Amino acid sequence: MKRLKFISPFLLMVVIASGLFGQDANYTQFLNSPLYYNPAYTGLYTGLHARFSFRDQWPTLPYDFKAYHFSTDIGDRNLPGAGGLGLSINTDNDGLGFIRNLNVGLSMAVRIHFSAMAVGQLGIRASWMQKSIRWDDFVFSDALSEKYGNIYQTGFVQPDRNVLNLPDFGTGGIVQFSNEPGSLSGTVGLAVDHLFEPDQSFLQTAKSPLPRKWVAHADMIFAVGSTSGFNVMEEDALKINPGVIYQNQGNLNSFQAGMNLTKFGVYVGLWYKGAFGTYSNGAMALMAGYRYVFAESMSLKFTYSYDMQLTGALQGTGGAHEVSLVLDFGNISLFGGGGHSAPRGKGAYDSRLECSPF
């Protein structure tokens, strides 16, 4: 049965013409969707990696917000620039739930060797972005009769454009480091998305630029009881992964800080999320998951998280559910420059920086 959405034409025009609903979706498990936040992650680890995330936010509201993200990238040290290539697809809804967004992007990164224990990557992403509105599900308030229901002709005139197709660009940088014993690893990065703030207004007589998004992030991994450094397939070692991410987009600032733990393939995590600006709120996120190892350098990780709203006007909205799937194929390459091992020496990379550590 078609779900009817009652809205006044005036309110709808205000929503369409404004940029109040122009913020990107925000995933709690940001470490499981790194290309979404920074294209410099493309090919950071050798091999083929595929990631899928689904987020259902505020499910108790009439218009819950669903977001889907898929990305895949391959790291091959025989590629030009010795970085990697990636593909990312993101779709979600915003406004009052009736505006649909689709973003498909290609990314690439180049690799810079600082030392045997530290590397950097610079990444860029070029995307095609589509925004669309479906009017068939709407019943406008001026078409309603108190006695007979939807019997009148609405006076609402559809906007000049129902579908927008726009180019979009992002860039970022990241530094990855490790210590000599192999018990400590980390990344620090900075990225900017929507570089040229594409106009997302459906009205040719108005402008609504998509605000530029700035992202700063850092995380570290401590391996306790590890005998072979950061081998993600080594389940006996306890790995502790604290992290933080800060985002600024338009009038919204948000941050997230917390920690994940894994041992014997089991993952648990606890994170605090805060947003401040036009609408301030705070939430606590709990995460749990498991990694199944198929074979050497092949694994599947499944994680689930739930956001509990603690403060702000969003209490009682049902929080948010999020699911992530991560597939790692460590030995796949395009030109023979993959795998988790490499010779040391001048210009060579350290093998511990090539294996996905968490």
- The predicted structure's pLDDT at residue 24: 87
- The predicted structure's pLDDT at residue 226: 61
Spell out the residues 6+ positions from residue 149 whose beta carbon is closer than 8 angstroms to its own.
Answer: none
**Which of 234-243, 286-295, 320-329 has the lowest average pLDDT?**
234-243
Cα separation, 168 vs 39, in Å, equals 13
Whose structure tokens read 């389940």? 235
- The predicted structure's pLDDT at residue 179: 86
Spell out the residues 6+ positions from residue 345 whose beta carbon is closer than 8 angstroms to its own.
Answer: none
Higher pLDDT, 65 or 139: 65
Higher pLDDT, 276 or 87: 87
- The predicted structure's pLDDT at residue 252: 87
Average pLDDT over residues 311-339: 78
List the structure tokens of 295: 């074979």
pLDDT at 199 > cutoff 70: yes
Confidence of residue 187 (pLDDT cuts 50, 70, 90): very high
- The predicted structure's pLDDT at residue 128: 97
Whose structure tokens read 């593909």? 87
pLDDT (tens digit per residue) in 77-122: 887 777 899 999 999 987 565 788 999 999 999 999 888 889 999 9
Average pLDDT over residues 29-36: 96
pLDDT over 90 for what percent of the chain?
Answer: 47
Q: Let me know: does 51 contact 322? Beta carbons within 8 Å.
A: no
Confidence of residue 352 (pLDDT cuts 50, 70, 90): low
Instruction: Count H helices and E strands in the chain, helices first.
Output: 2, 18
Higher pLDDT, 154 or 32: 32
Average pLDDT over residues 45-52: 93
Per-domain residue ranges for the chain? Answer: 5-136+164-353
Confidence of residue 344 (pLDDT cuts 50, 70, 90): very low
**Which of 35-39, 90-94, 217-221, 222-226 has the lowest average pLDDT?**
222-226
**Which of 39-53, 154-168, 188-202 has the lowest average pLDDT?**
154-168
φ/ψ of 85, rounded to 5, equals: -125, 145
Fold of 5-136+164-353: Porin (2.40.160)
**Closest-CA residue to 288 (of 322, 257, 318):** 322
Q: Which H or E run contains 355?
A: none
Confidence of residue 61 (pLDDT cuts 50, 70, 90): confident
List the structure tokens of 279: 């609408």
CA 48 to mean position of chain CA atoms:
18
This prediction's pTM: 0.85
Cα-only R_g, the chain = 22
Q: Let me know: does 83 contact 335? Beta carbons within 8 Å.
A: no
Average pLDDT over residues 275-291: 87
- The predicted structure's pLDDT at residue 336: 66
List the structure tokens of 62: 């009439």
